[in-house]
Copies of this chain bind each other. A is one copy, B any other.
């Protein structure tokens, strides 16, 4: 593999000049530039990115921590980050945190030790304080789908309250008034906000909040099953069910079918996130789209702008969810 030195010899210029034409920041005369370019071509020269990193104190790699590498939600997110960053010639190192505090911290350590120029995090278990502390370190951090008050410029988040509102509002517009709400764990910020949105929709439509129609469970299939079982055993009637995410919705739908509830005739169901399997469910799940892919690419743009000083327009830090209508919701009759 040819080195910059060989190129300089062939082009009869100094090392420095070759470096200059590569980086293009300093002016080089037309002729010498051409000579250098020719020499590079002839030798099929490729810069050694590691040597560049060492000399420039830049690794050109960005760390990305997600809860799980598999899983539909994170797939979209990673995809957004990678596409954007690769186009800029940067590379992405992906690792996992499994939503557990120790593992998240461990993953962050790993990424920092790899000399990443910045790290993009989707962390759930770690505290705000920890993140604030972390942000004082040498490696810049960016957060996806989480808002930390002290780090307003480093967060990309979703308006979960609005999402919760939209879901319930859409049901009300279809004539439903007795709406059960299956909430996510109330120590997670997004789960809290979604529930608030639901309550706001009820209030704005003058529907009293019935605590018996609210149940908290895990963001998983099993949570959906437990939730619907709870509501069905209760004495409060309801014609629609809002689930705080699609996995819960999937579980609830399975349970509903096993109990001979026809959807959407007997029960309308709406989810949240619009993960890949949502359109595969039966009936196809109406849900609130969570633009994770865009949020991922936006986090990447933020890094490009802050860390690499690349011009970026249209930086957007708060995203809005939108309704995806499919077949799991019917007009109330």
Contacts from A to B (Cβ < 8 Å)? 1, 46, 48-51, 53-54, 59, 61, 68-72, 74-76, 78-79, 82-83, 86, 91-96, 110, 113-115, 138, 250, 257, 276-277, 280-282, 293
Contacts and interface: CB of A to CB of B under 8 A. Distances in A.
A92 B91 contact: no
A96 B113 contact: no
Given A69-B82, A79-B68, A280-B281, A114 B138 contact: no
Copies in the complex: 2
Contacts of A54: 48, 50-51, 54
Given A79-B68, A82-B96, A94-B94, A250 B280 contact: yes
Contacts of A276: 70-72, 276-277
B91 A50 contact: no
Nearest to A246: B280
Contacts of A114: 49, 91
Contacts of A82: 69, 94-96
Contact of A75 (B75, B83, B115): B75
Given A1-B138, A276-B276, A277-B277, 13 more contacts: A46-B113, A48-B115, A49-B113, A50-B50, A50-B53, A51-B54, A54-B54, A68-B75, A68-B79, A70-B75, A70-B78, A70-B293, A276-B277
Contacts of A91: 93, 95, 110, 114
Which 3 pairs from chain A and chain B are nearest by CB?
A: A70-B75, A277-B277, A282-B282
Q: Tell me which of A50, A71, A92, A281 has the highest count of chain B C-beta atoms within 10 A of its own C-beta.
A: A50
A48 B54 CA distance: 9
Nearest to A81: B69
Contact of A282 (B49, B69, B281): B281
A106 to B, nearest CB: 10
Contact of A72 (B1, B59, B72, B79): B72
A93 B1 CA distance: 22
A244 B328 CA distance: 28
23 contacts: A1-B138, A49-B113, A49-B114, A49-B115, A50-B53, A50-B59, A68-B75, A70-B78, A70-B293, A72-B276, A74-B75, A75-B75, A79-B96, A82-B96, A91-B95, A91-B114, A92-B93, A92-B94, A94-B94, A276-B276, A277-B277, A281-B281, A282-B282
Contacts of A138: 1
A74 B94 CA distance: 14
